[in-house]
Amino acid sequence: MMSSATVRPWLMMMMISIVTLLFQVQQLAGAQLQRQVAAVFVLGDSTLDVGNNNYLPSKDVFRANKPYNGIDYPASKPTGRFSNGYNVADFIAMKLGFKKSPPAYLSLLQGPAAAANLTLAIKALTGGVSFASGGAGVLDSTYAGKCIPLSTQLRSMEATRAAMVSKVGTRAVAAHLARSFFLLGVANNDMFVFATAQQQQNRSATPAEVAAFYTTLITKFSAALTELYEMGARKFGIINVGLVGCVPLVRAQSPTGACSDDLNGLAAGFNDALASLLSDLAARLPGFAYSIADAHAAGQLAFADPAASGYTSVDAACCGSGRLGAEEDCQVGSTLCADRDKWAFWDRVHPSQRATMLSAAAYYDGPAQLTKPINFKQLARTTA
């Protein structure tokens, strides 16, 4: 048992922490005049990861914690982002009135459990949290052991919600989450893994296999969105699967450097199923609002007319080595392009900082054909 001398300082520290938290939340109420949503919560893959993978212990984990990653980020240092600077989560958060993406969930759990839980609650209540992980997919089997799958990200969001409830109560958290923006970008890696499995068998997937693949993905995606809704989420910004068949890693496998029509077609079929799913959820779940950011269509526009986006290269990696810069990961000693703003791809899989900036602008309030049924700006302004 604790002695009274031990209990009193402990209680005093907790009271101070809670008072501090409530004061910060009060301050935030004023700051919300500049922000369009209460907070941003991010789930997804390496296009959104801001450093969660840095905290995973396995040596096989996908990481971006070494140069030249982060070369254009403030302080020119690696942050865990798979980018030369900011990524699309950062730019979308900026559009919504924040300085950058919310912090990585695992970065908030360092230190003693009680202090970490308080830090997590404060961050979640005053800006949000990112659960995204490089390599993650909808399926647990996608790059298993190398990332944090969507199912685990949901458990982390659940723990975050519990931390908030323990500090300010269920009703306040429900209101907070209903006013928050949930950004999701996942399933790109599921496409890669499925296509690679067929390639290793030296065959194409049958229509029945593709249909079963879609069914599994959509079922799990539906369960994930429903679970977030039950936690209190109402605003869902969903980035669909992009032109995964046109990344330098895939192009380098073609004798002519061409995109893979099969892989792009696989992504397009999934995107159609995803759109149907979201329409169905909106019809069934009161207050469920969503916007689909069409990364697939945005890529088609950029690649059809690179000059219109200011690109001089849309097929090679700015940082890499070998053919199309796609034979090795970006690392110290890699070939590095001089004008990174003119390259669509940073490394052999990921877009450059400028590419993600243009994408975020398009999703927020760009051409109508790139967001359905509303854009991210309109979504942020919806009320449950």
In the residue annotation, 347 being an active-site residue is answered as yes
Of the candidates 56, 77, 274, the residue with the CA atom closest to the CA atom of residue 185: 274
Q: Residue 203's pLDDT is what?
A: 87
Of the candidates 17, 45, 46, 315, the residue annotated as catalytic is 46
Per the CB < 8 A criterion, the answer to whether 290 and 238 are in contact is yes
Closest CA to 50 of 20, 15, 97, 85: 85
Q: Which two tokens mark 115? A: 């202090």
Angle, alpha carbons 339-300-131 (nearest 5°): 75
Residue of 291, 296, 350, 359 with catalytic role: 350
pLDDT at residue 29 in the model:
42
Q: What is the CATH number of domain 36-381?
A: 3.40.50.1110
Peptide bond into 68 cis (omega under 30): yes
Whether 296 is a known active-site residue: answer no
Which residue is associated with the tokens 């068998």? 201
The per-residue pLDDT for 71 is 97
Whole-prediction pTM value? 0.91
Per-residue tens of pLDDT for the chain, all 384 residues: 333 333 343 333 433 444 444 444 444 444 444 899 999 999 999 999 999 999 999 999 999 999 999 999 999 999 999 999 999 999 999 999 999 999 999 999 999 999 999 999 999 999 999 999 999 999 999 999 999 999 999 999 999 999 999 999 999 999 999 999 999 999 999 999 999 999 888 888 999 999 999 999 999 999 999 999 999 999 999 999 999 999 999 999 999 999 999 999 999 999 999 999 999 999 999 999 999 999 999 999 999 999 999 999 999 999 999 999 999 999 999 999 999 999 999 999 999 999 999 999 999 999 999 999 999 999 999 986
Active-site hit among 291, 347, 352, 359:
347
Inter-residue contact 177 to 232 (CB < 8 Å): yes
Query: Contact at 8 Å (CB) between 83 and 50?
Result: no
Which residues lie below 8 Å from residue 260, measured CB to CB, with a gap of 6+?
195, 245, 246, 250, 251, 253, 254
The candidate with the shortest Cα–Cα distance to 249, out of 170, 341, 345, is 345
Q: What is the pLDDT of residue 141?
A: 98
